[in-house]
Structure 1
Amino acid sequence: MKTIAINQYGPATEFNLLELPKPTPTADEVLVEIHAFSINPMDVAGRQGQLGAPFTDQWSFPLVLGWDFAGVVAQVGAHVTNFALGDRVFGAIASAHAATNGTYGEFVAAGTEELAKIPAGLSFDQAAALPIGGMTAYYGMTHSLDLQPGQKVLVQGGAGGVGLFAVQIAKALGAYVATTASANHRELLMQLGVDQVIDYHETSPAAVLHDFDAVFDTVGDIETGLKVLKSDGKLSTIAGQPTPAQQHDQNKQVAFQFTQGSAADLAALADLVVTGQVQLTLTTLPFSAASVTQAHQTIEGHHTTGKQVIHVKD
């Protein structure tokens, strides 16, 4: 099968098109013919050699990166009963995938814990954009923060791959949503229903927001988020580690979020897209090493709006 792999850790220009054997699914896995995959900041960290265990436990070179995918079931393991040949599916593979079983290729062996069927009305490219970024945001809003209708939430970094999902999911849950973003993203975020957009280059959210119920931090600015929270509010961060002092700030609940999404969560997120409650902002590129290099450089340079998706086949 064709894959896009690296032979050593390094810059985004390390990617090459390589022919490698198809992965062999276990009895608890399915083999998926990939139609699209998306790229996340953790992919960039993996390519740079910045990820440790458990991610790298089975890694060697050549290394095929990637976790998000959408495609068609091509083989079903003996113990799998909820998927069949030909099913259109999307999901994420386990963090600790084998070196040649990443999603930057034509096939991937995937477990079923984070695998769902693609509903009618959702394309492969759209479905591939959902798993890690979308699930991180969905888990944050519904589990980590347990956001309720009428509550106020600040999403720090609302125009990024996770942030765009987070602001829309929060609105779908009935919350008042404020977010930080550059001025050039203000119009997009307002169109998506955000109630208040703060240009962080000009204004600190702590200067204008007070007594918020929740903060979802995607940029690593925990200290500012804490200033926005009410005394018993909740802050969840995916971009930093709270200090002991921050974790004991009044009665506030402050924690790093370890996302544990499920197939049911994926299905619920897909339904939000199909029903128009979450709109996707995608940059779609053809299947090539140059495209993956470009996507990595875009993410690495913090120029991302929405998701970078690689279209493999129709």
Structure 2
Amino acid sequence: MEAIVINEFGSADEFYETELDQPQVTDDTVLVAVNAFSINPMDVAARLGMLPPQFSGNWKFPLVLGWDFAGTVTKIGQNVTGYQVGDRVFGSLPNDHADNNGSYGSYVVVAPETMAKIPAGLSFAQAAALPIAGGTAYQAIVENLKVKTNDTVLIQGGAGGVGLFAVQIAKAQGAKVIASASPSHHELLKQLGADQVIDYHQHAVAKSIKNVDAVFDTAGDIEDGLAALKAGGKLVTVGGQPTSEQLNSTDKNVAFQFTHATTPIYDSLAKLAIAGQLQIKLRTLPRSPDNVIDAHKTVEGHHMTGKFVIHVKN
């Protein structure tokens, strides 16, 4: 199969295209032809060799990176039910996927519990933007923070790939949403439903906001988030590691989220998108090594609002 790979960890300029053996479907998995994939900060960390062994233990070079995918089912393991050849699907690969089973390849082997069908009205590119960023936001807002109607939620880093989804998911839950972001993103966040946006360059969140019911931190600013949180409230972070003191707070609940999105979460995200409650902000480029290089440099430089999607085929 065709795949865009690296032969060593390091610069984004290392990407090139080559032919590799196609990953092999098992009795309990599905083979998917990739129609689109998205670039996440995790992809950048992987390319730099910064991910721990629980990610990289199955890797060797040439290495196919990538987790998020959208595509078409081409083969089904004999124990798999609920899918058939030709289904349009999207999802994410295991953290420790094999070296040739990244989504920058033409085919991926997927466990059915980590993908879902793409509903009519959602494109491959839109679906490919959802899994990691959308799944992270949904798990935090709905499952971990349990945001409900009339809650006030602070989302730190509201303009990133995860933050944009989190703002909209919290709004869909009926919450009042406060987001922190640089001024260039304020208008977009308000359009997506944020009730208040704070310029963190000019105003410390801790001094501007008090007594929110829940905080979702994607920016690594746990201390400010805790200062804004009411007694008895909960902060979930994917942006930093809480200190032991923060984790052992007697009046506020702090947790680091290890995201593990499954089919029900992906189904919920797709339904929100189809219902118009989740706008998917993305930039799309056709598949080529040069465009993967450009996408990595953009994401690595923190110059991206929303998601970067590489389009393979319709």
Shorter chain as denominator, the TM-score bin is: over 0.9
Alignment of 1:145-294 (within 5 A): 145-294=145-294
Contact kept, 8 Å, 1:231 with 1:250, in 2: the verdict is no
- 1:144 is displaced (CA, Å) by 1.2
What residue number does 1:308 align with? 308
Distance 1:245 1:42 in 2: 27
Distance 2:133 2:55 in 1: 17
Q: Aligned Cα RMSD in Å?
A: 0.7
- 1:248 is displaced (CA, Å) by 2.6
Distance 2:170 2:287 in 1: 33
Distance 1:52 1:234 in 2: 28
Identity %: 56
What residue number does 2:118 align with? 118
Write the deviation string for residues 84-135 of structure 1: whole angstroms up to 9, x where unpaired. Answer: 1000100011111000110002111111111100001100000000000000
- 1:245 is displaced (CA, Å) by 1.1
Write the deviation string for residues 58-100 of structure 1: whole angstroms up to 9, x where unpaired. Answer: 1000000000000100000111111110001000111110001
What residue number does 1:52 align with? 52
Alignment of 1:9-88 (within 5 A): 9-88=9-88
Normalising by structure 1, report the TM-score.
0.99
The residue identity in structure 2 corresponding to 1:247 is L
Distance 2:248 2:231 in 1: 11
- 1:195 is displaced (CA, Å) by 0.3
The residue identity in structure 1 corresponding to 2:201 is H
Write the deviation string for residues 2-23 of structure 1: whole angstroms up to 9, x where unpaired. Answer: 1110000001111001111211
The residue identity in structure 1 corresponding to 2:190 is M
Distance 2:299 2:237 in 1: 19
Secondary structure of the residue that 1:184 maps to in structure 2? helix
Aligned length: 314
Secondary structure of the residue that 2:161 maps to in structure 1? coil
1:130 correspondence with 2:130 = yes
Distance 1:260 1:94 in 2: 9
The residue identity in structure 1 corresponding to 2:206 is A
Distance 1:217 1:280 in 2: 20
Distance 1:217 1:297 in 2: 24
The residue identity in structure 1 corresponding to 2:290 is A
